[in-house]
């Protein structure tokens, strides 16, 4: 059988959100490498009133409607960035928000960027962007290439995934579209 470990980002946002758990997000900045294991995700799509894509294509959301496997980075609350992986077929407005990482490499650089201790480096969507220096300049970046890419790892077993409602939204709050690795120390809200 074929044993490719590549994630099919053109699957649904829910499928990709689960499948991304356990994979590694890698960031390179001026020769420095930072990496973390993805331990918490959320799904968004155009059928979903909580999603930026719900109202259709706008200058901000057009990347969500493009091909899968690209970065959607948005700015929010006047000071924070959040990082998503675009999913689904071209023309569908869907993405997976990366909400938390388990730091693996480059912790010294992350600590400088965050000015906090090891448990608070990447346990939230805006925190991990600050730690990994992810900002608007990476919006639309192809996530198979430097300086920001994902290396697929074997899936986390479904029995080790906790599924809950999403954080920080006011519409479509009932959807169970948040996924995290059960018991992981770096989840934003265990």
Instruction: By CB under 7 A, name the binding residues for DNA.
Output: 42, 44, 50-53, 55, 58-61, 64, 72, 75-80, 82, 84, 95, 97, 114, 116, 120, 124-127, 166-171, 188
Cα(159)–Cα(155) distance, integer angstroms: 11
Q: Closest CB to DNA among 17 and 26? A: 17
The nearest distance, CB 57 to DNA, in angstroms, is 8
What is the rounded CA–CA span in Å between residue 93 and residue 51? 9
The rounded distance, in Å, linking the Cα atoms of 107 and 137 is: 22
Q: Provide, rounded to whole angstroms, the least separation between the CB of residue 56 and DNA.
A: 8
Shortest distance in whole angstroms from residue 135 CB to DNA: 11
**Contact predicate 188/179, CB 8 Å:** no
Q: Which is nearer to DNA, 67 or 160 (CB)?
A: 67
Is residue 72 a contact partner of residue 63, using CB atoms and an 8 Å limit?
yes
Shorter beta-carbon distance to DNA: residue 31 or 73 = 73
Strand ranges for 63-173 from DSSP E: 71-76, 80-86, 95-105, 144-145, 148-151, 161-164
Q: What angle do CA 74, 139, 13 make, to 5 degrees?
A: 70
Q: How far is the CB of 61 from DNA (least distance, A)?
A: 5
Report the nearest approach of DNA to the CB of residue 125 (Å).
5
User: Would you say 78 or 158 has its CB closer to DNA?
Assistant: 78
Q: Kind and range of the H or E element at 16?
A: helix 13-20
Radius of gyration of the chain from its Cα atoms, rounded to whole angstroms: 15
Residues 162, 18 contacting (CB under 8 angstroms): no
Q: Which is nearer to DNA, 62 or 162 (CB)?
A: 62
> Least distance from C-beta 157 to DNA, angstroms?
25
Pick 83 or 149: Cβ nearer DNA: 83
């Amino acid at each position: 059988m074929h044993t490719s470990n590549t994630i099919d980002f053109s699957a649904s946002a829910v499928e990709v959100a689960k499948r991304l758990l356990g994979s590694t997000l890698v960031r390179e900045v001026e020769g420095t490498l930072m990496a973390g294991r993805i331990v918490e995700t959320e799904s968004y799509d155009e059928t979903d009133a909580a999603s930026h894509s719900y109202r259709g294509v706008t200058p901000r959301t057009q990347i969500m409607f493009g091909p899968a496997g690209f970065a959607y980075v948005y700015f929010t609350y006047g000071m924070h960035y959040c990082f998503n992986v675009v999913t689904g077929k071209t023309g569908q407005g869907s993405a997976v928000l990366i909400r938390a990482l388990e730091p693996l490499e480059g912790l010294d650089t992350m600590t400088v960027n965050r000015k906090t201790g090891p448990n608070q480096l990447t346990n939230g969507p805006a925190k991990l962007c600050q730690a990994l220096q992810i900002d608007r300049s990476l919006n639309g970046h192809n996530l198979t290439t430097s300086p920001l890419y994902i290396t697929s790892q074997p899936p986390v077993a479904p029995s080790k995934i906790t599924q809950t409602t999403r954080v920080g939204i006011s519409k479509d709050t009932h959807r169970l579209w948040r996924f995290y690795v059960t018991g992981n120390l770096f989840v934003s809200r265990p």
